Structure 1
C-alpha cells in the first residue's frame, strides 16, 4: 500500500512540474483559442498531465535491480480474461475480492480517465478513445515486453493481451461517461468570440506577472546550466564551475536583456503577449516609455539581483511594491505603468475606435 501511495505522489509531483513548465504556452494558447483562461479546463489539463505520468509510474515502477529480476513470457491468449472471471466466480468467498477479478477491474478503471479526457479536452468520440486506449496500452505492454526497451535483458512483467482488451474497454467507458459533461464544456474548438476584447482586470494583470516570472525563471535556469556545461566541458574551468558566479550573472543578464529587446520592439512582455494585454497611451516617446516600463519590472529586479548584498533586500522590497501597486493602481497597471505613464488595454481592442472600445484612463 505504501508503494502505491509513493507512486501516486511521484505522478503528482512530475505532472505538476511539467504543468509549471508548460504553463506560459498553455495560457497563451488558451487566450487565443478561448479568449480567456478557464479555471476548470486548466485543472482538467493538469489532471491529464498527472494521469499521463500515473500510467507509467503504476505500470513500470518501481524499476527492479537487474540482478534480481525474473524473466517472464507473454500471455497472448485473449480468452485469459474469461478464465480469470470464471476463476473468481468459482473460488470460495466473495468473487469481488478475488485478485484476478480485482486486476481486471483495475485495468478497466485505469484507462477510464483517458477516454474522459479524449472527449472533454480533445472533443473526440468513441472511435478515437478506442484507438487512444489501444495505442497507449500497446505502448505500455510493449515497453514491458522489451524489458523497458532494452534496459533489462528480458521482460520482468507480463505482456498480456487481456490487459490490452480491458485497458481499451476502460477508455471507451470513460469516453461514454464524458457525455454527462455539458456539450458547451467539451471539445478543443476555438470559441467564436476568442478574438473579441475582454475586460482588463487585476487578476489578468497578475496572471501576466506570473507568466513573466516563470518565463524569466526558466530562461535564467537554462542560461545558467548552459554556461556551467560550457565551463565544464569546453573551457575546462573547474574553479569557475564551482564558483558559479559567471553562470549566475549570465542567468540574470541574458533573460533581462531578452525582455528588454522584446519590450522595446513590441511594447509587450512575455506575460502581456500570453494574456493579450498591451500598455499604451504614454505622453513620453514610445522607446523611452517602454524602457521605463522595463526598469519598473524585470529590469529593476535584475539590476538589484546583480548588485547582491544589501540590494537583495531592496530586490525583495521592489517585489513587495510591485504586488501592492498591482492592487493600488487602476486596472493593475502597477509600477511599470506608473513609471512609463502608460495604461493597460486589451491587445485585441482596436484603440483607433474609441466608441467601440473606449480606453479607460488611469
Structure 2
C-alpha cells in the first residue's frame, strides 16, 4: 500500500512539473482557441497530465534489481479473461474479493479516464477512444515484454492479451460516460467568440505576471545550464563551473535582455502575448515608454539585482511595489503602466468579429 501511495505522489509531482513547464503555451493556446483561460478546463488538462504519468508509474515502477528478476512469458489466450471471471463467480464468497477479478476491474478503471479525456478534451468519439486505449495499452505491454526496450535481459512482467482487452474496454466506457458533459464544454475546436475582446481585469494582469515569471525562469535556467555545460565540456574549466559566477550572470543577463528586445520591438512581454493584452497610450515617445515598461517588469527588476548590494535590495523593493500596484491600479496595469503612463487593452479590440467558419469548442 505504501508503494502505491508513493507511486501516486511521483505521478502527481511529474504531472505538476510538466504542467508548469507547459503552462505559458497552454495559456496562449487557450486565449486563441477559447478566448479565455477557464479554471475547470485547466484543471482537466492538469489531471490528464497527472493521469498520463500515473499510467506509466503504476505499470512500470518500481523498476526491479536486474539480479532479482524472474523471466516470464506471454499470455496470448483472449479467453483467459472469461475463465478468470467464471472462476471468480464460482469461488465461494464475494467474487469481488477474488484477485483475478479485481485485476480485471482495475484494468478497466485504469483506462476509463483516457476515454473521458478523449471526448471532453479532444472532442473525439468511441472509435478514437478505442484506438487510443488499445494503442496505449499495446505500448505498455510491449514495453514490459521487451524488458523496458532492452534495459533488462528479458521480460519481468507478463504480456497479457487480456489486459489489452480490458484496458481498451475501459477507454470505451470512459468515452461513453463523458457524454454526460455538456456538448458546449467538450472538444478542442476554436470557439466562434474567441476573437471578441474581453474585459481587462486584475486577474488577467496577474496571469500576465505569472507567465512572465515562468518564462523568465525557464530562460534563466536554460542560459545558466548552457553556460555550465559550455564551461565543463568545451572550455574544460572545472574551477569556473564550481565557481558559478559566469552561469549566474548569464542566468540574469540573457532573459532580461530577451525581455528588453521583445518589449522594444513588439511592445509586449511573454505574458502579454500569451494573455492577449497590450499597453497603449502615453505622452512619452513609444521607445522610451517601452523601455520604462521593461524596467517596471520582471526583466528590468531582475537586471537590477546583477550589481548586487544596494541594487539587490532596490530590486526587492520594486518587486513588492509591483505586486501592490497590481491590486491598486486600474485594471491592474501595475508598475509598468505607472512608469510608462500607458493603460492596458485587449489586443482583440481591433478584430472585427469572430473568425469565419469557426466551430464551437
TM-score by length of 1: 0.96
> Alpha-carbon deviations, 1:311-338, whole Å to 9, x = none?
3333222211111000111111111111
The 3-state SS of whatever aligns with 1:30 is helix
Q: Is the 8 A contact 2:223 2:247 kept in 1?
A: yes
Aligned partners of 2:195 and 2:351 also within 8 Å? no
Specify the alignment match of 1:308 in structure 2: 308
Q: 1: distance between equivalents of 2:329 and 2:250?
A: 33
Q: What is aligned with 2:231?
A: 231
Equivalents in 2 of 1:15, 1:201: separation in Å? 29
- Name the structure 1 match of 2:168: 168
User: What is the match of residue 213 of structure 2?
Assistant: 213
Match of 1:204 in 2: 204
Alignment map for 1:210-289 (pairs within 5 Å)? 210-289=210-289
After the TM superposition, which segments of 4 or more aligned residues of structure 1 sit over 4 Å from their partners? none
Within 2, Cα distance between the matches of 1:303 and 1:129? 49
Deviates more, 1:316-325 or 1:148-157: 316-325
| 2:278 counterpart SS class | strand
Q: Deviations over 1:183-206 (max 9, x none)?
A: 111111111000011100000000
Residues 32 and 195 in structure 2, CA contact (< 8 A), matched pair in contact too:
yes
Equivalent residue number for residue 100 of structure 2: 100
Structural mapping, 1:332-351, within 5 Å: 332-350=332-350
For CA contacts below 8 A with separation 6 or more, give which structure has more relative contact order: 2
CA shift at 1:138, angstroms?
A: 0.3
Q: Which residue of 1 aligns with 2:40?
A: 40
* Kept after mapping to 1: 8 A contact 2:115/2:173: yes
Query: Which piece of structure 1 moves more, 91-100 or 150-159?
Result: 91-100
Matched residue SS, 2:350: coil
Per the alignment, residue 356 of structure 2 pairs with: none
Indicate the residue corresponding to 1:9 in structure 2. Answer: 9
Determine if the alignment matches structure 1 residue 49 to structure 2 residue 60: no
- Return the alpha-carbon distance in structure 1 between the equivalents of residues 102 and 122 of structure 2: 30
- 1:58 aligned onto 2:43: no
Q: How many residues are paired up?
A: 352
Give deviations 1:32-74, integer Å, cap 9, x for gaps: 0000001100000000000000000000000001010000000
Distance in 2 separating the partners of 1:7 and 1:305: 40
Residue in 1 aligned with 2:326?
Answer: 326
Instruction: Please give the secondary structure, in 2, of the residue aligned with 1:306.
Output: coil
In the TM superposition, what is the alpha-carbon distance from 1:267 to its structure 2 partner? 0.3
User: How many angstroms apart in 2 are the aligned matches of 1:299 and 1:81?
Assistant: 60
Deviation at residue 351 of structure 1 after TM alignment: 9.5
Mapped contact 2:216–2:299 kept (Cα < 8 A): no
Aligned counterpart, 2:130: 130
**Deviations for 1:231-260, whole angstroms, at most 9, x for unmatched residues?**
000000001100111001001101110110
Q: Distance in 2 between matches of 1:88 and 1:149?
A: 34
